[in-house]
Amino acid sequence: MNLILIPIVLPLAAAAALLLLCERTKYIKELLAIGASLVSLLAAGNIFLQPPDVFSLRWLSGAITFTLHADNLSAFLLLAVSLFSAAISLYSFSLPNKGPSKWFYFNLLMTQAFAAGAALSDNLVAMLFFWEGLLVFLYTFIALSQDNHAARRTAMKAFLINAATDLCLLAGVCITGYIAGTMSMSEISRNKLTLDYGWAIFGYVLLMIGAVSKAGAFPFHTWIPDAATDSSAAFMAFVPAAIDKLLGIYFLARASVYLFTLNGTMQLVLMTLGAVTILVAVMMAFVQKDYKRLLSYHAVSQTGYMILGIGTLNPVGIAGGLFHMINHATYKSCLFMTSGSVERQAGTTDLSKLGGLFRAMPITGICFVIAAAAISGIAPLNGFFSKELVYKGTLDTGYTVFFLAAELGSFLTLASFLKLGHSVFFGDRPEELKEAKEAPFSMLLPMLVLAGICVAFGFGAELPLNWLIVPSLQGMNIPNPTMSGFHPDKLYFASVIVILAAVINHMMGLSYGGGKPSKSSDHIHYAPVLKEAYAMAERRVFDLYEVGMDKVVPFVSRLLFKADRAFDWALDTLPSSAAGFLSGTSRRFHNGSYPLYMALTIAGVVIYILIAGGLK
């Protein structure tokens, strides 16, 4: 078997084997999933170090070629997908509230296999096949997390939002393939398409919608906070935090710099989308009162930095976007794992009911501090360096407003995590949590590994940049950017100012909130103008899906109902009424009178003669 097939075929085979096992069997399901994920990780590592030959299989008598190709970028993405799959499979071993174990691990392995296929596919049709397969398991992952109506409703919401944008992706693939004359991405890249006419622009925009929706960008993000409430921490750490971000940003980079040559207008569109995603989501994260829901909005906000970096269209910014992609998946998965550990040991993720858990759960607390500092862009952790590259990329474009938006996002991000960390791990511990203790080792090990990567990719940032990011850029024919390690330049001092401002804001919030960390955002939450905006957001006024379900869909349903009644009247009621009227009228003539029948017959003959003879 070609080595490139193992990360796809092995998880598929393990998932099929899981269906043969009884739910009541202990440890077999978990060990099977962990073993398959670890072997797939080893295979992905070998593929990354020594890319194998291209695997091709012809479909429909050669009309479509199924091609798997591991270039520098796709091999890097495959390695990341396999790493997070292995980490989540081990983490979930002792997680109780993930739904039925058999179905959880089945969904995990199927998601891993289809994500690997999407990463390795060189043909757009093959990529689309794997991409759409992920949609099915997104639904089942959420729907089976909890046995209640809320989980099924959120699963349907996630399915419909992603299905609508995947239809856009499907149309974009068809248009792109038609214009290029081929579905092979490597062949299209040799003569990149330009946005100099309408169909090319339309095709790229549709591809972009599919990519940013998968990454969870505004305004396609609204299912993610709901999933944080109605699903498990393991699902959130795996799909919204890692797999969806990796695939969405990967394909956005492919489309933006590998398949198409973008113009200045489209650059502004991408950068604006990135800036809006950063600010809208981080403003919502700042006021949340639930551990997982707060993290979910940050999963959306950080997507904006990746889109912003790629939207700069310069090597430094694109490198920053790709570096932030892997960094975000690392520290956000770690953060969701800490939330799952706290939920398991404390029984809640409500910030007002938590506090003082650092002494009871020191390893979880340390992992949280490292990951929170990384996502906040504090030097010298990995998040600082990827954000710094994005900042430099935005400044190189000459659009300073996007740099300011990104810095404001960093300020609110750190302010959010000061609130979250203080509420959960520091301060006074509630009486009902006095017996809380550290999470099991199977949950701690993946957290420690991911937290260690945050430190290693920070202090040794040149290693991932030179081994992962620069080769990925070379694979997309992007010149090597000028990058350097830690140094106290203007951007570093700007980050110090952001840190000081966030600390001051937190202290002001504590004073305003009566010393309660969970209320340290109230001075912004209930500020003039913002109070009304937040109230509208909490009523889901800005949620396009909810607005559609509550207002647009009922209106359209009533309209269609009335149209259906009108058609019924025109096709059923009207003909039967007319027939009844004519039959009643004809009955009045059938009264048995011979003279009347003769008169009608003569009248009919006269009319026929006049018509047949040509009425003048």
Joined tokens for residue 562:
């009335």
pLDDT higher than threshold 60 for residue 616? no
Band (412; pLDDT cuts 50, 70, 90): very high
Domain end, chosen from 462, 490, 525, is at 525
Contacts of 457 (CB under 8 A, 6+ apart): 326, 327, 330, 381, 382, 385, 463, 464
Q: Is-above-0.95 flag for pTM? A: no
Nearest to 251 by CA among 110, 131, 164: 131
Domain end, chosen from 463, 495, 525, is at 525
Of 157-161, 405-409, 484-488, 544-548, give the lowest mean pLDDT range: 484-488
Strands 260-261, 193-194: pairing is parallel
What is the rounded CA–CA span in Å between residue 37 and residue 31? 10
Whether residues 443 and 552 fall in one domain = no
Of 13-17, 187-191, 535-539, 598-602, give the lowest mean pLDDT range: 598-602
Whether residues 464 and 326 fall in one domain = yes
End-to-end CA distance of the chain: 90
Identify the three-state secondary structure at position 50.
Answer: coil
Band (52; pLDDT cuts 50, 70, 90): confident
pLDDT per residue as tens digits for the range 217-236: 998 999 999 999 999 899 99
Q: Which residue do the tokens 């899906």 mark?
A: 545
Give the domain range for residue 339.
263-525
Chain centroid offset of residue 587 CA: 71
> What is the arithmetic mean of pLDDT over 153-159?
92
Domain end, chosen from 479, 495, 525, is at 525
pLDDT per residue as tens digits for the range 176-224: 999 998 888 989 988 889 988 889 999 999 999 999 999 999 989 999 9
The helix (H) or strand (E) run that includes residue 518 is: none
Examine residue 487 and state whether it is found in any structural domain, yes or no. Answer: yes
Q: Which residue do the tokens 């060189």 mark?
A: 122
Whether residues 397 and 322 fall in one domain = yes
pLDDT per residue as tens digits for the range 589-601: 666 677 777 887 8
Percent of the chain with pLDDT over 90: 56
Nearest to 369 by CA among 355, 381, 386: 381
Examine residue 606 and state whether it is found in any structural domain, yes or no. Answer: yes
pLDDT higher than threshold 90 for residue 514? no
Amino acid at site 562: K
Q: Report DSSP state, residue 438.
A: P
> Per-residue DSSP letters for 98-156?
SS-HHHHHHHHHHHHHHHHHHHHB-BHHHHHHHHHHHHHHHHHHHHTTSSSHHHHHHHH
Examine residue 24 and state whether it is found in any structural domain, yes or no. Answer: no
Whether residues 382 and 313 fall in one domain = yes
Contacts of 530 (CB under 8 A, 6+ apart): 524
What is the rounded CA–CA span in Å between residue 296 and residue 291? 9
What is the rounded CA–CA span in Å between residue 222 and residue 220? 6
Q: Report DSSP state, residue 583.
A: H
Query: How many residues are given for the chain?
Result: 616
Nearest to 78 by CA among 216, 234, 250: 250
Of 150-154, 251-255, 362-366, 512-516, give the lowest mean pLDDT range: 512-516
> What is the arithmetic mean of pLDDT over 81-104?
90
pLDDT higher than threshold 80 for residue 551? no
Please answer whether residues 321 and 309 qualify as being in contact, where contact means their C-beta atoms are separated by less than 8 angstroms. Answer: yes
The residue with greater pLDDT, 24 or 293, is: 293
Examine residue 203 and state whether it is found in any structural domain, yes or no. Answer: no
Whether residues 390 and 464 fall in one domain = yes
pLDDT higher than threshold 80 for residue 58? no
Which range, 272-286, 452-466, 475-489, 542-556, is most confident?
272-286
> What is the arithmetic mean of pLDDT over 357-374?
94
Whether residues 435 and 516 fall in one domain = yes
Whether residues 580 and 519 fall in one domain = no
Whether residues 574 and 442 fall in one domain = no
What is the rounded CA–CA span in Å between residue 533 and residue 513? 20
The dihedral built from the CA positions of residue 218, 219, 225 and 228, taken in this order, carries a sign that is negative
For residue 219, whether the previous peptide bond is cis, meaning omega lies within 30 degrees of 0, is: yes
pLDDT higher than threshold 70 for residue 62? no
Please answer whether residues 97 and 343 qualify as being in contact, where contact means their C-beta atoms are separated by less than 8 angstroms. Answer: yes
pLDDT higher than threshold 80 for residue 106? yes
HSE (side-chain half, CA atoms, 13 Å) at 118: 27
Examine residue 120 and state whether it is found in any structural domain, yes or no. Answer: no
Band (364; pLDDT cuts 50, 70, 90): very high
User: For the chain, what percentages of helix, strand and coil (3-state, to nearest 5) are there?
Assistant: 75, 5, 20
Query: What pLDDT, on a 0 to 100 scale, did the predictor assign at position 63?
Result: 59
Query: What pLDDT, on a 0 to 100 scale, did the predictor assign at position 443?
Result: 92
What is the rounded CA–CA span in Å between residue 44 and residue 74? 10
Query: Between the CA of residue 237 and those of 39, 91, 506, what are the distances in Å?
Result: 21, 10, 27
> What is the arithmetic mean of pLDDT over 145-151?
87
pLDDT higher than threshold 90 for residue 557? no
Main-chain phi, psi angles of 342, to 5 degrees: -65, -45
Joined tokens for residue 431:
């009486």
Per the structure, the count of domains in the chain is 2
Whether residues 335 and 452 fall in one domain = yes
Whether residues 431 and 559 fall in one domain = no
What is the rounded CA–CA span in Å between residue 323 and residue 389? 9
Whether residues 517 and 552 fall in one domain = no
pLDDT higher than threshold 90 for residue 504? yes
Examine residue 6 and state whether it is found in any structural domain, yes or no. Answer: no
Band (60; pLDDT cuts 50, 70, 90): low
Examine residue 375 and state whether it is found in any structural domain, yes or no. Answer: yes
Please answer whether residues 125 and 117 qualify as being in contact, where contact means their C-beta atoms are separated by less than 8 angstroms. Answer: no
Joined tokens for residue 162:
């992603």
Identify the three-state secondary structure at position 64.
Answer: strand
Examine residue 51 and state whether it is found in any structural domain, yes or no. Answer: no
Percent of the chain with pLDDT over 70: 96
Q: Report DSSP state, residue 256.
A: I
Whether residues 296 and 394 fall in one domain = yes
Query: What pLDDT, on a 0 to 100 scale, did the predictor assign at position 311?
Result: 93
Band (38; pLDDT cuts 50, 70, 90): very high
pLDDT higher than threshold 60 for residue 542? yes
Query: What pLDDT, on a 0 to 100 scale, did the predictor assign at position 179?
Result: 92
HSE (side-chain half, CA atoms, 13 Å) at 273: 27
Mean of pLDDT over the chain: 89
The dihedral built from the CA positions of residue 327, 332, 333 and 334, taken in this order, carries a sign that is positive
Query: What pLDDT, on a 0 to 100 scale, did the predictor assign at position 290?
Result: 92
Which H, E and C letters describe 192-249, residue by residue? Answer: CEECCCHHHHHHHHHHHHHHHHHHCCCCCCCHHHHHHHHCCHHHHHHHHHHHHHHHHH
Band (492; pLDDT cuts 50, 70, 90): confident
For residue 380, whether the previous peptide bond is cis, meaning omega lies within 30 degrees of 0, is: yes
Query: What pLDDT, on a 0 to 100 scale, did the predictor assign at position 289?
Result: 92
Please answer whether residues 291 and 339 qualify as being in contact, where contact means their C-beta atoms are separated by less than 8 angstroms. Answer: yes
Query: What pLDDT, on a 0 to 100 scale, did the predictor assign at position 309?
Result: 94
Please answer whether residues 443 and 341 qualify as being in contact, where contact means their C-beta atoms are separated by less than 8 angstroms. Answer: yes
Burial 514-527 (b: 16+ CB within 10 A, else e): eebbbbbbebbbee
> What is the arithmetic mean of pLDDT over 526-547?
85
Q: Which residue do the tokens 């695939």 mark?
A: 247
> What is the arithmetic mean of pLDDT over 387-412?
93
pLDDT higher than threshold 90 for residue 90? yes
Neighbours of 338 (CB within 10 A): 32
The helix (H) or strand (E) run that includes residue 261 is: strand 260-261
